[in-house]
Amino acid sequence: MQRSDLLSRIKVIGIPTRTNFRGVSLREIALIKGEKRWSEFSPFKDYSVERDALWLQAALEAANHDFPDALRQQVRVNATLPEVPVARVGEVLSWFPGSTTIKVKVGTANDEERIREVFRIIPEARLRLDANGLFSIHEAQDFLTSLYNKYGHQIEYVEQPCASLSENKALNLPIPLAIDENLRLGDDLGEINRVADVVIVKVAPLGGITRALNVISKLDKPVVISSALESSVGLATGIALAAHLADDVVCGLGTAALLDSDVVKEPLLPHNGFVSVTEVEVDDAAVARFQLSQEQVEWWHNRIANAYERYLTNIDQGESR
Ligand SMILES: [Mg+2]
């Protein structure tokens, strides 16, 4: 495909978020119209061209190829609780009706208060803590041991407590350890197998479903498919991967609930603890409503052109993982 052809297939939009997530309050997304369906390219703004190239590879695969066969019609999802004031915890949990597995972002000022509030509202909750690598070894050890002493096995696992794989390896925690960022930033899979009890797999950062399946085949730990605050267009790809896997696990794919709106006719919002496995239909009126300014569109076109050059170079070099 020519670069100009690719750019002619793109709509750039911004959807407001319902909470501040990773400092994002307007989720900027490039939608790509392919042979099979619309797909989504939405790396966060601080990503490198290398990482952008993988996201674009994932988006082009989703746009132009069939999804793998689905083994189920719906996928179980956790609720996702970002850093919000304690008074808003109940409201955020209500966006994920039926989910009793709650992923809580930690490493913030009010971690313990939010966790206490989750258990007040859902006493039987199981927690997945996600530190996004913010803790030192010492902080992780102290904080997670104290939470384990309070809540025991209601803490299912902690995701990426420390930034580097070697720090995470040095931890000796009473709760299982999940690896997220170390996988998508390219750490060695053999070493990840040695360190992780669970691995978080996201389709877009790994370069698409085919590449994600290849990575999963080399992991000997349970995987949890998760999203990166995508619209329903991007979420559909993660859901397709989760529905194709033999293990029916609770996934991190209910995050359409964190957006204030969506660009499809029937958003993939969680109901009864599940999201549907289905093709989505893009709503032209919503795309028009959320269209960004010409200046922002040009910024995204430039970004996508650079990512496409890098993607083509990677393909030429037979790059694979
Ligand atoms: Mg994570």
Looking at every residue in the chain, the average pLDDT score rounds to 96
Task: Tell me, yes or no, if 169 is annotated catalytic.
Answer: no
73 CA to middle of ligand 1, Å? 25
With helix as H, strand as E and coil as C, how does 132-201 read?
CCECCHHHHHHHHHHHHHHHHHHEEEEECCECCHHHHHHCCCCCCEEECHHHHCCCCHHHHHHHCCEEEE
35 CA to middle of ligand 1, Å? 32
43 CA to middle of ligand 1, Å? 15
Tell me the percentage of the chain whose pLDDT exceeds 70: 99
199 CA to middle of ligand 1, Å? 10
H helices present in the chain, as ranges: 3-8, 49-64, 89-94, 111-121, 137-151, 165-170, 181-184, 189-195, 203-206, 209-218, 232-244, 284-289, 294-316
Residue 260 has pLDDT above 80, yes or no: yes
180 CA to middle of ligand 1, Å? 5
What is the mean predicted confidence (pLDDT) over 164-192? 96
Task: Return the sign of the alpha-carbon dihedral for residues 7, 256, 106, 102.
Answer: negative
Catalytic residue among 36, 105, 218, 265: 105
Residue 67 has pLDDT above 50, yes or no: yes
Residue 321 has pLDDT above 50, yes or no: no
Task: Tell me, yes or no, if 45 is annotated catalytic.
Answer: no
Catalytic residue among 45, 103, 169, 202: 202
215 CA to middle of ligand 1, Å? 17
130 CA to middle of ligand 1, Å? 5
Q: What is the pTM of this model?
A: 0.96
Q: Which domains does the chain have, with CATH numbers?
A: 3-66+285-316 (3.30.390.10), 74-283 (3.20.20.120)
318 CA to middle of ligand 1, Å? 29
Residue 241 has pLDDT above 60, yes or no: yes
pLDDT tens column, 97-118: 999 999 999 999 999 999 999 9
Quote the pLDDT of residue 1: 80
